[in-house]
Structure 1
Amino acid sequence: MKSFLKYQTIFLIISIICIYTSIFINNNLVFPPFLKQQSLLFITIQTIFSSLFPISILNIIYFFTKRLFTTLIIYFSIYITLNYINLKKNLYLSSSLIPSDFFLFKETLIASPLLLKAGIIILLLLLCSIIYFFYKKEKPSHISLHLLYIFIPLLIISSYILINRQQYFYSYCQININIGCKLVAVLPRTQDNWLGDHEIIIQNGFVTFFVSKSIDTFFEESDSNISENRIKHIFKLENNKTVLLKNLPNIIFVMSESHWDATQLDKSIPKNITPTIHKNQVSTLLSPSFGGGTANVEFEVLTGLNTLINNKKLAYVSNLKRPTYSLPTYLNQLGYETTAMHNNGKYFYNRSNIYQYLDFHRFISLENMVSASEKNKYINEGGWATDDLLYSNIQNQLKNSEQPQFIYAISVENHPMYSDDRFGKDNYKISKVGISDASKRQLNTYLTGMKRADDKLKDLIENVKQLDRPTMIIFFGDHLPNLQAVYDEYGFFASAQEKAEKKDVKFFETPLAVWSNFPMDRKALQGDFIAAHFLAPKVLEAAHIPLSPYYAFINKVSSCYDAVHQTAIMPKKGCQFDQAQILNEYKDMNMDVLNGKNFSYQILKAQAQN
């Protein structure tokens, strides 16, 4: 037992050293900011949890070798190799090494120069020789309790799987905050974690990330039963050939953080906060998210795919890992220059990687908008970058190219939480009786942020009026704000059950405003609401841009359904097709792209080249 405890202590020390070495290296040798914000207790608990996977790997290696020094050589060889590859991939591709990358071994081997292949083979042979030498040199340990070295990893991994794969724990913890939920929140999850892979590595170390990502990858849903012929049938080319227009309009999407019609909260809320948005509002956007999950909204808008069909996963993190047909894909084919913009870090939600899969020409993130030394000047009291950076980059992009522009801009300055005075104090008087000072402060901050968003949109419109090229601006909120107790004090939810279930569309509707300096087809954008997954073809129609086969199909689905949403699947009257068949085809397309062989992308790209 003494030797067992001794080895476990050694494994723990090595794990902690490796974790923090990885954290500092991946954070450019700077003390991670998140550590400064946490208590010593939290850091201790997180370190222990983060150490569990490296300890498991060490125990597994030791179980098979029965040699401590050999175990350490093998572990450090794996650790150094994976970290080195991850750093290089991050440097050149702005994305982290993930388990599925090893499925591309054949392609990597073909693409690698002969000298590199030879060098790798020599290094592998040398490493194997060293391991074999020490394995033969070192005497095996004759110890009792040897089965514990495999039992511990199995216990750790099975516990992780149980907690991580069962949504009950996380659903429970959304409405119950206790010590158990706080501990669960510290687990190094990679599935549906909005932070994105790089940020998880900075918090938990690379080995912990890679093992947890491997487990999540192993349990990913896969549906390879959807045949190529099935997808070809969906995208048949009847009357769907595109026609290149002579003067294509600029298309600018502004997805405004947490923007909502706050007058729905109560009659006492001022009604003239956002006059520009109100003047140009054509409908509302039906978001797939409430209070968060921004990436799922842009996922639906940019791809036409569906969060509900994807089991409410964060697709950007969980299962969007390859080139995917999207609005940028199609507009690139028409001659557009496509740009994603976000005044936040490039790694959140894996955006630096995802936007490459969605065929954007470029991604302008906070790192590109301002230097690291100047960054703090643009961070507000809430910890978010101001939208001044975002809108100035939109204007610069419009000025600096003669090509038609597609810009998808995501704002962040009005991001929750609102318990601060980032825009000043008491800009709006909260007159309703019974509202706490904390809620008044939150609401004042939020309403001021709404007003600032309206001012920025007004300035952008004035700027665009100076352009010669026809231009369309589409403005919408990604989801309702996370106002916490404000909702309760205003009685926004009729009951605790309604708050938990959120079965009414009003909990997912945000303003959808559209402005253009040319006669657009406003009929395409009319309706009680437009579901996020149906927005793109409506915008194309409004801009008089022909639909590709992909968007012709999405529009076909929208002619039969108002939405495929968590509140309800909403059939539309007057559908000219077999509604059940259309819905099944839409589901098949989603499954093919996200969990199947992605025939959709291959077929659509081939069609575009013909």
Structure 2
Amino acid sequence: MKTLRQQVLFLLVAFVSILAFFLYQENIQHFLNLPEAYRKLRLFKYGFSVLLNYALISLIYVVLRRTFATILVSQVLIFILTLINIKKEQYLSASLIPSDFLLAKETLIAAPMLLKLAFFAGLIICIALMWGLYKKERAENNTLLWLNAMLSFSILGFFVTANFQNNFSEICSDENKPSLCKYNIYLPNTHSDWVGDHMNIRQLGFSAFFFSKTVDGIKAKVSNTAHIPEAKIQSLLTPPIVANTKNQNNVDSDKVLPNIIFVMSESHWDATKLDPSIPTNITPTIAKNQVSQLLSPSFGGGTANVEFEVLTSLNTHLNQNQLAYVAKLKRPTYSLAMYLNSLGYNTTAMHNNGKYFYNRSSVYQNLGFQQFTSIENMVSAAQRAKYINQAGWANDELIYNSIQQQLKQQDQPQFIYAISVENHPMYNDDRFGANNFKITKSGISDRSKRALNTYLSGMQRADQHLKALLDSAQQLERPTIVIFFGDHLPNLQNVYDEYGFWGTEQAKTEKNDVRFYQTPLAIWSNFPLNKKQWAEPFISAHFLAPQVLKAAHVPLSPYYQFIQKVNACYAAIHKTGNHMTKTCEGNAAQLLKEYKTLNLDILDGKNFSYQVMRPSLEANQAAL
């Protein structure tokens, strides 16, 4: 076959493969109605995916040296992997990733006999067809071999390099960055893209996703493996034995454990901090119950990193602000849910958004939640449109109704971690009605007034939802504590500039002041609450869990005893600095080093922390 003809054919096959996947999973009318910037993003991503697909076809040719056999093998392989992914998402709510093939033995044991027979029969037929075509077609000349080798290695080498260097983020952050850097956001990025694996597959096609995910795994093995000795972790998580005292991890069997409900409210913030002219008393319920500020690790987005800190007490800043939900949490990881499971709690994660965002469907399993109630469980697909607002986000009635339904189960204590979504950016719409609030400050553009009206309306609705929840919880016989906080400041774009919120351009760029990360922290309970416990300027997200356990009169596990010990010397370990407490009695530098060690072990090491804590979890469950 002539060189040009072969390369055009390979490129055409790569394009058709991506196009077929796009047509399978995309509603064309919906795609055409997307904002132009988002359509552009998707099209460029698909363009890079075609290029990567083409390189993978060329690589297979280097092995087979037969054009049509290469096309058949490559496309059958992509089809099989895509089909497996579709079925895995259908049954397990998680995408197919390279490490899944390490579970081939377990999969074969668990699969029904009929499915195994069908799979192996299909595999034998495919191999027979491919072998027949391979034998029938002659090996082609060396020119085609070297050309395909050069093209595939060059293109794949570029994508591997981009992956290892986080899509050239350092080069493209310089003032004199190359003009090509405007395209780096379109490169495959399965390591830290907030949309998660499912949406990455939709935006890239499966072959590009799987390639990028494979390189992620190699990168983790090469550069991100920490060697933390098990004995070191054992020493951190084994509390000292104090004579004549009960083990703090034991629960009095006669004690009624309280329901513990977290409500992480999307972008909830005290907007009066913009300016005194902002209407006050918009959120009376939250104001009445506010005990402090939550110090979030994120500004304007990154909800999953806030969840990550609250649920694990690990630290985003110490982990280079990576999206741990996407990049790291691939195995059982000690968490608040896992600990409360061991005490007899029913543990539920809730979110009125899709189950795949931030890989939540698989992450929550690894964190030990017994169930995840997502929008797919809250309302049927046929009825869903009724609950979606102008901005495309589900109304929060869904999640608050789900919380109240879950609390009706009184046979065991409930731990609920609920994440709202209706007040999600952007705010250039009238999803809650126009002109609900009069913006009186001069010099504010109509666009910013509209955004602020929408945002303030969302804050007001969040307060109303919370009040209804507290009224309902007040009727419960079981002790109940509700913890409400915003995940981060809202992405209000020009509103901040027009109100002069930043102060200086440097402050806007570096965001190195805690006020850019503080959101209201409100605590309510139907039993006496010691509010002096919360009398601090702020409570860091990574130190919130032991504080809540203490307020709920639930004993601290050795893990949370260690976290509390770190908290005794550090109010926060944060992008804005390491904030020391005034009452530190320990060796602060040593504690910080040990806390870093814990983070490394769990996220980049052997995860001995989970193994060390596992016996206490099992002992608690055995005692129930």
What TM-score comes out, normalization by structure 2 length?
0.92
1:230 corresponding residue in structure 2: 232
Q: Which consecutive unaligned segments of at least 5 residues does structure 2 have? A: 241-246, 620-624
Q: 1:339 is aligned with what amino acid?
A: T
Letter in 1 for 2:404: Q
Query: CA shift at 1:274, angstroms?
Result: 1.0
Q: Structure 1's 119 and 42: CA in aligned 2 closer, same or farther, altered over 3 A? A: closer
In structure 2, the partner of 1:390 is 399
Q: Specify the SS of the correspondent of 2:318.
A: coil
Distance 1:201 1:393 in 2: 30
Give the SS at the match of 1:277: helix
User: Could you tell me which residue of structure 2 aligns to residue 5 of structure 1?
Assistant: 4
- Could you tell me whether the CA contact under 8 Å between 1:339 and 1:360 is conserved in 2? yes
Task: Report the equivalent of 2:75.
Answer: 76
The answer to whether 1:432 aligns with 2:434 is no
Deviation at residue 143 of structure 1 after TM alignment: 5.5
AA of the residue aligned to 2:575: Q
Alignment CA distance shift 1:100-1:586 (3 Å): same
Measured in 1, the distance between the counterparts of 2:105 and 2:47 equals: 37
Query: What's the CA shift string for 1:386-413, capped at 9, x where partnerless?
Result: 1111111111111134211111110101
Q: 1:442 aligned to 2:451?
A: yes
Deviation at 1:137?
A: 1.8
> CA offset at residue 476 of structure 1?
0.2
Give the letter for the 1:103 counterpart. L
Aligned-residue identity in percent: 53
The correspondence of residues 159-558 of structure 1 with structure 2, limited to 5 A, is 159-166=158-165, 170=169, 183-220=183-220, 221-238=223-240, 239-244=247-252, 246-558=255-567
Using the TM superposition, name which of 38-47 and 466-475 deviates more.
38-47
In structure 1, C-alpha distance between the alignment counterparts of 2:149 and 2:198, rounded to whole Å: 30
Paired with 1:546 and 1:439, the residues of 2 have a C-alpha distance of: 48
Comparing 310-319 and 76-85, the one that deviates more: 76-85
Aligned-pair distance for 1:279? 0.9
Aligned to 1:136: 135
What one-letter code is carried by the residue in structure 1 that aligns with 2:34? Q
CA distance in 1, matches of 2:584, 2:305: 27
Preserved contact between residue 521 and residue 541 of structure 1 (Cα < 8 Å) = no
SS of residue paired to 2:589: helix
Q: Tell me the amino acid that sits aligned with residue 84 of structure 1.
A: L
- One-letter amino acid of the structure 1 residue matched with residue 498 of structure 2: E
CA apart distance, 1:590: 1.0
Deviation digits for residues 553-581 of structure 1 (CA, Å, limit 9, x no counterpart): 11111111111111112232332322222
1:151, distance to aligned residue in structure 2 (A): 2.3
After TM superposition, the structure 1 stretch with the greater mean CA deviation from structure 2, 265-274 or 501-510, is 265-274
**Residue-by-residue CA offset, 1:6-29 (whole Å, 9 max, x unaligned):** 22222222223322333455x3x7
Aligned CA distance change for structure 1 residues 36 and 218 (closer, same or farther; 3 Å): farther
- For residues 363-420 of structure 1, the C-alpha deviation after alignment (integer angstroms, 9 at most, x for no partner) is 1111111111111111111111111111111111111342111111101010000001
Q: Distance in 1 between matches of 2:497 and 2:177?
A: 17
Aligned partners of 2:239 and 2:561 also within 8 Å: no
- How much does 1:229 deviate? 1.2
Residue pair 2:167, 2:185 contacting (<8 A) in 1 also = no
- Give the Å deviation of 1:176: 12
Q: Which residue of 1 aligns with 2:58?
A: 59
Residue type at the aligned position of 1:429: K
CA–CA separation in structure 1 for the residues paired with 2:273 and 2:111:
59
Aligned partner of 1:203: which letter? Q
Shifted more, 113-122 versus 395-404: the winner is 113-122
Query: Which residue identity lines up with residue 280 of structure 1 in the other structure?
Result: N
Secondary structure at the counterpart of residue 418 of structure 2: strand
Cα shift readout 1:518-564 (whole Å, capped 9, x = no counterpart): 01233332311011000000000001110011111111111111111
Which stretch shifts more, 15-24 or 567-576? 15-24
Distance in 2 (alpha carbons) for counterparts of 1:526 and 1:306: 23
User: How much does 1:173 deviate?
Assistant: 7.2
Distance 2:40 2:533 in 1: 55
Question: Closer, same or farther in 2 for the Cα pair 1:543/1:109, shift >3 Å?
Answer: same
The alpha-carbon distance between structure 1 residues 304 and 495, as it changes in their structure 2 partners (threshold 3 A), is same
Tell me the secondary structure at the aligned position of residue 409 of structure 1: strand
SS of residue paired to 2:185 = helix
How far apart, in 2, do the equivalents of 1:368 and 1:92 lie? 14
1:553–1:34 Cα change, 3 Å: farther
Match of 2:2, SS state, is helix
1:32 and 1:202 in contact (8 A); partners too: no
Residues 332 and 273 of structure 1, relative CA distance in 2, 3 Å threshold: same
Q: C-alpha displacement at 1:119, in angstroms? A: 6.9
Q: Is the 8 A contact 2:345 2:413 kept in 1?
A: yes
Contact 2:193 2:326 survives alignment (8 Å): yes
Checking the alignment, whether the CA contact within 8 Å between 2:227 and 2:606 is kept in structure 1 is no
1:87 aligns with 2:86: yes
CA distance, structure 1, for counterparts of residue 99 and residue 527 of structure 2: 46
Maintained 8 Å contact 1:24/1:202: no
User: 1:243 corresponds to which letter in structure 2?
Assistant: V
CA RMSD of superposed structures (Å): 2.5
Shift in CA distance, 545/351, structure 1 to aligned 2, threshold 3 Å:
same
Contact 2:167/2:184 (<8 A) preserved: no
Write the distance in 2 (CA, Å) between the matches of 1:15 and 1:557.
53
Taking the aligned partners of 1:51 and 1:84, their CA distance within structure 2 comes to: 19
- The one-letter code sitting in structure 2 at the alignment partner of 1:527 is E
Greater CA deviation, 31-40 or 329-338? 31-40
Change (3 A) 1:41 1:482: closer
Distance of 1:195 and 1:176 partners within structure 2? 30
Distance of aligned partners of 1:177 and 1:354 in 2 relative to their CA distance in 1, 3 Å threshold: farther
Is the Cα–Cα contact under 8 Å of residues 286 and 508 in structure 1 kept in the other structure?
yes
- Structure 1 residue 96 displacement after superposition: 0.3
- What does residue 148 of structure 1 align with? 147
Distance in 2 separating the partners of 1:530 and 1:103: 41
Deviation (angstroms), 1:130: 3.9
CA separation in 2, counterparts of 1:308 and 1:591?
A: 12
Deviations 1:449-489 (A, max 9, x none): 11111111111111111111111110000000001111111
- Cα distance in 2 between the residues matched to 1:170 and 1:342: 32
Change (3 A) 1:44 1:552: closer
Q: Tell me, in whole angstroms, the C-alpha distance in 2 between the residues paired with 1:168 and 1:346.
A: 27
Q: Is this contact kept in 1: 2:317–2:574, CA < 8 A?
A: yes
Shift of 1:107: 4.3
Judged with a 3 Å threshold, the aligned counterparts in structure 2 of structure 1 residues 371 and 112 are, in CA distance, closer, same or farther, namely closer
Q: Which 5+ residue runs of structure 1 have no aligned equivalent? A: none
Q: Compute the displacement of 1:507 (Å).
A: 0.5
| Cα distance in 1 between the residues matched to 2:397 and 2:177 | 36
Q: TM-score, normalised by structure 1?
A: 0.94
Q: 1:38 to 1:178 in 2, by over 3 A?
A: farther
Q: Are positions 1:17 and 2:19 aligned together? A: no
Contact 1:524 1:539 in 2 (8 A): no
| Distance change (3 Å), C-alpha of 1:366 and 1:122 | closer
Query: Contact 2:46–2:203 (CA<8 Å) still a contact in 1?
Result: no
